[in-house]
Amino acid sequence: MRLVTGGTGMVGSAIKADLKIGSKDYDLTNWVAVNDLFEKHKPSEVIHCAAKVGGIWGNMNYKGDFYRENILMNTHIIEAARLHGVKRLVAFLSTCVFPDNVEYPLSERKIHMGPPHNSNDAYAYAKRMCDIQIRAYREQYNLNYISVIPTNIYGPNDLFDLTNGHVVPSLIHRCFLAREQGKDLEIWGTGKPLREFIFSEDVARLSEWALDNYEEDEPIILSTSKETSIKDLVEMVVELLQFKGKLIWLKEKPDGQYRKPSDNSKLKSYLPDFKYTPLYEGLKKTISWFENNYPNIRS
Ligand code: NAP
Ligand code: GFB
């Protein structure tokens, strides 16, 4: 029986599972609730997507919550999986865990080689401990649990929060409102930073593959290894939403990490022919989903 935590979220909702849960079903920061979940449903495999997730603004302003909620959820899920005899578990890190000052490209062995970028260090450290806990459980309990490191993910059913969301969903939502209300479109920062964007449905397929095939101690990066500037991203979103108004760049808003180029050669060695959804196509699918579902979107 496959359990997906975070099943009501962007990635979790795209993964095939026997049971998907969200925070209203079980609060994974509560140890008793987590035990009830495993006692009642007895999963044999777990894809653990649940997390407190957000963009640069949310991460900068709620560091205590991001650290506490993620360290509790991850610790509880991995320990409950062990106690209840779960055979396979996939946990999620993120490319923001990498040190801010390390030789590029970012590869799996560099995770702990220095502090993460200040904008999301609390979340990044909580996620790094997931790697430490999994390695410790593999060594002491001989468990075949693994973790994956996706880059910036976007797609349908994302969290389209205008303030605390990630750049893609926040931009789509803000550009949609600016078009509908005939207003200018405000964008944060300089537009110079570079990001690697991966479509949520690709991440879902890759995490299902990892559950069945990946067995190394080391996490595996899930990335297109293709960088896009925020400015180019904005141009694609504006074109796809047919926004005709003015763009206002708010230079006082943070740029965050300049770039986080990840090396996907380990994934390529396993799946040399994996076809990633091109960014423009993924944005088109996400924007069409957004317009078809608005205002019933997660924001
Ligand atoms: P998301 O859309 O924000 O969904 C988060 C999920 O976690 C939701 O289902 C949410 O339930 C659940 N959740 C939050 N707090 C919970 C709690 N206390 N108890 C139980 N469930 C709780 O997240 P996502 O973007 O799909 O991310 C999925 C995974 O990928 C996360 O581990 C994230 O760290 C990782 N990741 C994300 C990105 C990205 O750019 N989005 C990049 C790299 C890695 P509700 O719906 O009920 O709130
Ligand atoms: O996705 P994002 O918020 O977070 O992207 P990170 C931030 C970049 O997009 C910055 C620019 O360069 C912002 O200046 N940006 C432009 C905007 N307009 C907007 C906007 O309206 N909203 C947002 N949010 N950004 C995250 C981490 O870092 O990466 C998370 O904070 C997670 O923990 C995620 O790991 C994958 O890419 O900087």
Q: How close are the terminal C-alpha atoms of the chain, in Å? A: 31
Kindly provide the residue ranges of all beta strands, DSSP E only, lying in the chain, ordered along the sequence: 2-5, 19-21, 45-48, 88-92, 144-150, 152-154, 185-188, 194-199, 220-222, 227-229, 247-250
Q: Going by C-beta distance under 8 Å and a sequence separation of 6 or more, which residues neighbour residue 156? A: 10, 13, 14, 200, 285, 286, 289, 290
pLDDT at 38: 98
Q: Going by C-beta distance under 8 Å and a sequence separation of 6 or more, which residues neighbour residue 32? A: none
Task: Measure the CA–CA gap between 242 and 79, rounded to whole angstroms.
Answer: 49
Residue 123 is among the residues annotated as catalytic for this protein: yes
Q: Two tokens at 189?
A: 């920062």
3-state percent helix, strand, coil for the chain, nearest multiple of 5: 45, 15, 40
Amino acid at 267: L
2 and 18 in contact (C-beta within 8 Å)? Answer: yes
- Looking at ligand 1, which atom is closest to the CA of residue 96? 43
Q: Is 58 in the pocket of ligand 1 (CB under 6 A)?
A: no
222 and 267 in contact (C-beta within 8 Å)? Answer: yes
Q: Is 74 in the pocket of ligand 1 (CB under 6 A)?
A: no
Q: Is 198 in the pocket of ligand 1 (CB under 6 A)?
A: no
What confidence tens digit (pLDDT) does each residue in 162-189 have? 999 999 999 999 999 999 999 999 999 9
pLDDT at 96: 94
- Looking at ligand 2, which atom is closest to the CA of residue 193? 12
Return the DSSP state at 25: T
Is the peptide bond between 156 and the residue preceding it cis, with omega within 30 degrees of 0? no
Q: Is 148 in the pocket of ligand 1 (CB under 6 A)?
A: no
208 and 15 in contact (C-beta within 8 Å)? Answer: yes
- Looking at ligand 1, which atom is closest to the CA of residue 8? 9
CA of 146 to the centre of ligand 1 (A): 18
Task: Measure the CA–CA gap between 224 and 215, rounded to whole angstroms.
Answer: 21
Domains of the chain by range and CATH? 2-158+195-226+260-278 (3.40.50.720)
Task: Measure the CA–CA gap between 279 and 244, rounded to whole angstroms.
Answer: 21
pLDDT along the chain (299 residues), means of 10: 98 98 98 98 98 96 98 98 98 96 96 96 98 98 98 98 97 98 98 98 98 98 98 98 98 94 98 98 98 97
CA of 105 to the centre of ligand 1 (A): 26
In 42-111, which ranges are continuous DSSP H helix? 56-61, 63-83
Catalytic residue among 123, 145, 214, 276: 123
pTM of the model: 0.98
* Ligand 1: residue whose CA is nearest its atom 1: 9
